[in-house]
Amino acid sequence: MEKEVQQLVEMGATAAQARAALEQYKDVMQAAEQIFDGKFDHIVDDEVDGDGDVQMGSSERAAPPPKVRMITPHEDEDDDEDAIGEDEDEDGSVEDFADYDSDDDAHIPVSSSVPSVDPYAGIFFSKDRREEVIEVEEEPQVVLVPEANIEVPLMTQGQWMKGCPEGSEQSFLFSLYQELSEGECNCPNGCGTSIKRKKSDFFSLFPDFQSYIKHVQELVLRNCTRCLKAFCFACGEPANIDQNRDTSNPEQDLALFHCPNLQGVILGVGLAMLEKVFIDETTRDVPLDKAKKPRTSSKRRKVELSVLLGGGSKHYDDDDDSDGHHSLIASKKKAKLGVGYAGDVREDNTGQLEAQAVQREKDDKLAELLKQIGGFLPSLHRPGGGRTSDYLVHPTTLAHLRRRFNFVGSQLLRNDSLADMSERSVLYFELLEWLETISCHEALASMMAMPIMVVASVKSLSPKKGSPRGSPAIRERTIIYEGSSGPRELLEAIVIQAHAAVKGLESAKPAEVPPEEMTEEQKRMTNDDKGKARAFDAGSSEENAKLLTFCKRILSTAKAIDRSLAESKGEAFVERLHAGLPQIPRSAKDADAVKVDAGDTEESAMKAYLEWANRVRFEYCDLTIARPDRDTKDEDTLPHYKFYYSNEARMLANSDIPKRSLAIAKELAVLTTNLPVAWNSSVFLRVDETRVDVIKALITGPEGTPYYNGCFLFDIFLGPSYNTSPPNVKYMTTGGGKFRFNPNLYADGKVCLSLLGTWSGPGWIPGKSTLLQVLISIQSMILCEEPYLNEPGWASGAGTAESRAYSANIRRMVVKIAMLGMLKNPPEPFEDVIRTHFRLKARSIIAQVDKWLTEDDGKPTLPDGANLPKTAGGSNNGFQTDVTELKTLLHQLQSGEGAGSS
């Protein structure tokens, strides 16, 4: 019994608690579960009498629950006094083997006096978690595997348990590791024979997963040397499996699916291999046939990977040699988009094809490994029916998936380029297959909604001394974990892009017309002549079909996950999950009509503004002009658009230009989730429901400029040669063609920008430049702080009186046209956006225009902005009148009296 007591003590229990639990529950695992469930919290060490019997004390003497701490191998007994025990979840409960998954009403708060059936109930969908864990690291042993004749490292206990901030999961991980690396396997037939397990049996880290599986296959079935009966070496239970079985297909080998123990260890080791390969392939920046960089450079690259892949690092210890799991993931600083006036006109594409080939090879390797490991995921839909381990899911399986698979999967899902994903579809198809398989199993489905715990910071502690047996030094680190978006939430961002891409591809298809009867001349055409006119589009059409197939797979995966969650967790669960997903209306009809409240402070207004702007920044709408029905058969049926380029759009009706369709689809996918929105300046887009090449944009002027909070409208048409050539862009906020707001924004609507080919400098790069770059260039480089300098002849006049006068003149025009004019006659389809923009920012705008009024130079407003008079033209230039009227409208919006206020 002392051995079992020591095991429980190592898990974090006191000796008294361990003895009391073992007297009531003879099995160590059952005793551990009850201890961690709080049943023996009232027992303390000094309540053991002389006979060794445990006396039941008062619950008032129970010690508070300790913090999470990884189990440190070979710790001295003196160190146990300072050891930090197992963690409890927010609701005070600890996990139970049978109730590992959530019930349908898991979100309902549970009284702390009653253990929750779902330890994650209180944190589902909530990313407001922060866990501090002390993790250990030790040098791995290397052993010779005789059957393979190779030396392989052994997975240490620290590696096995790394990345797990959940105390209940730690106990299961620790127990399985101890059982399969040090325990004895007794013959289940009672003959008294036992076989000693070694760490190399199940925890050998082979160079590839298939070698590991072959190794496990050869040892998992054992015949007792005394009674000659077969049993499973992983669980010690009888195994009625044919010893002469065919082991050529591991996924059909019943011996590998005999028990949950096998499932837990195979997935644990397999996912550790996957994580290592992912880190190695992601950090490697040389071709696969080249030698690896020195260790120090590799370590530095891994820190750079943490910056590249996006997980929110606060700080990182340089002396911490991470294996990648604890590499702090943050976003690499991207080059600014929309730099239309600077840079090199020509782009160096040297090595691009080689880089693509290297990426494909990396993706193929990762995809194959995902496929191999995925064959051992619990699945009741396995070909040939579910196996034993498919029904009996080991608790460590969810722990492994949440730690290691979530780490790899979340980095792949954070890719913000649908086009890049499509190019790497061989890898992403396997990732989607994993997500579907996980969501289909009731014991794992809740993982789709759980927040992913990512490393926020790492701090190394002083190395611990080795044991008297001469074990290597053990290093401890304090890891801070924070909650982040769960798998289903990350997938939703890709779903939004996929919807946009599908709409872009399908809306460009020409209307189907009945085939015409061939003429005699057409019938006499040779086979070589037929179809030549469209032969050059074959490659583009194939690329379109590839992207469309990939997008539809993404959408079907999301639907399959939601359907499985509804079946296992209930409709209410899925509804609650969807309420927290990114919401971008697909049409104006889907937009949330609930009035957004600005609150009483600027802080509350800013928060409300951001939530609202993110929701409405991109929408589809009807931009056609309604026409009266006519019975004339010859009447033109093509629609007209509320749009400067209506005639150009009508000319391209029913056209089929595959390259253009693909470029538009990719463009829309990016725009749906990447339009910049902020309190200081935002970009809103409206796309026609049936013609995705017909676009209207509204940009609000940036803070610190004379354009601040003004609303500026642009009509955009993606022409027949898009994206070989730039889009057509027309500036529409001109006061009826009278006001020129910038040297680069003409009164006739011309937009001067090098990206558009209307200004000198680096131009449009086919296949690379984007509409998003154009929009951000206008927002940041044209609507700028000192617009006077945009005129080439005035470029050296920074800070001059002329520049200040030019900005003052623009401020007057902005109030008159881009504020007051927009509020009184908001253009379609931005009526609600404009009114809500001004209502939420009313307090800020009133203070802003008051300040502008005090700074005004009193000169008359000149629509052109050039040749301003040197002196003030009088005490009244109309600015005061415009400001007063604007403030009146803003007060009406705040009180809800404004016409059509939203």
**If DSSP codes are grouped into helix, strand and coil, which group holds residue 853?**
helix
Let me know whether 592 and 570 are in one domain.
no
Residues in the chain: 902
Q: Does 752 participate in catalysis according to the annotation? A: yes
C-alpha 359/C-alpha 420 separation (Å) is 11
The DSSP element (H or E) to which 543 belongs, if any, is helix 538-569
Average pLDDT for 1-24? 74
Number of domains in the chain: 2
- For position 339, what pLDDT does the model report? 32
User: Could you tell me the residue range of the domain that residue 558 belongs to?
Assistant: 417-450+486-511+540-582
| C-alpha distances out from residue 30 to 8, 97, 112, 558, 570, Å | 11, 9, 22, 38, 30
Q: How far apart are CA 363 and CA 806, in angstroms?
A: 55
Question: DSSP letters along 491-534, please?
Answer: HHHHHHHHHHHHHHHHHTSPPP-PPPPPPHHHHT--TTTTTGGG
At residue 736, the 3 state secondary structure works out as coil
Range with the lowest mean pLDDT among 32-41, 210-219, 325-334, 499-508? 325-334
622 and 566 share one domain: no
DSSP state of 401: I
Higher pLDDT, 538 or 773: 773
Classify residue 252 by burial, with Cβ atoms within 10 Å: 0-12, 13-18, 19+.
middle
Is position 879 within any domain? yes
User: Is residue 332 in some structural domain?
Assistant: no
Q: Does the residue 570 lie in any domain?
A: yes
37 within domain boundaries: no
The whole-angstrom separation of Cα 164 and Cα 169 is 7
Q: Which residues pair with 221 in a beta bridge?
A: 232
Q: What is the pLDDT of residues 574-594, one digit of tens each?
A: 888 888 888 766 555 555 455
Using one digit for the tens of pLDDT, what is the confidence trace for 248-299? 777 778 889 989 999 999 999 999 999 999 988 877 653 433 333 333 333 3
CB 153 within 8 Å of CB 159 = no
Both 711 and 782 in a single domain? yes
**Residue 644 shares a structural domain with residue 570:** no
The span from the first CA to the last CA of the chain, in angstroms, equals: 72
Catalytic residue among 224, 232, 752, 784: 752
pLDDT score of 832: 93
712 vs 359: CA distance, rounded Å:
42
Distance CA 288, CA 274 (A): 17
Q: How many CA atoms lie within 13 A of 147 on its CB side?
A: 13
| CATH classification at residue 743 | 3.10.110.10
608 and 555 within one domain: no
Residue 777 predicted with pLDDT over 90: yes
Higher pLDDT, 242 or 894: 894
Return the biggest CA–CA distance within the chain: 113
Helix (H), strand (E) at residue 215: helix 209-220
Same domain? 613 vs 691: yes
Contact in structure between 706 and 700 (CB atoms under 8 Å): no
Q: Are 219 and 201 in contact (CB under 8 A)?
A: yes
- What confidence score (pLDDT) does residue 50 get? 39
**Tens-place pLDDT, residues 809-822:** 999 999 999 999 99
In the block, residue with structure tokens 């974090």: 12
- Answer yes or no: do 578 and 588 share one domain: no
602 shares a domain with 564: no
Residue 556 forms part of a structural domain: yes
249: left (phi over 0), alpha (psi -120 to 50) or beta: beta
SS3 category, 840: helix
Sign of CA dihedral 389, 392, 398, 400: negative
**pLDDT by residue (tens digit) across 437-495?**
999 998 898 889 888 888 888 887 665 554 445 555 677 888 888 888 889 999 998 99
Mean pLDDT of all residues belonging to the chain: 76
Amino acid at 785: E
In a domain, 841, yes or no: yes
Kind of pairing between the strands at 184-186 and 142-145: unpaired
653 and 790 belong to one structural domain: yes
Q: Is 306 part of any domain? A: no
Please tell me whether residues 650 and 748 are part of one structural domain: yes
95, part of any domain: no
- Taking only the tens place, the pLDDT of each residue in 636-693 is 678 899 999 999 999 988 777 888 888 999 999 889 888 999 999 999 999 998 899 9
Residues 547 and 596 in one domain: no
Q: Tell whether 767 and 878 lie within a shared domain.
A: yes
Q: Is 107 exposed, middle or buried (0-12, 13-18, 19+ CB in 10 A)?
A: middle
What's the predicted TM-score (pTM) here?
A: 0.72
Strands 618-621 and 683-688: parallel
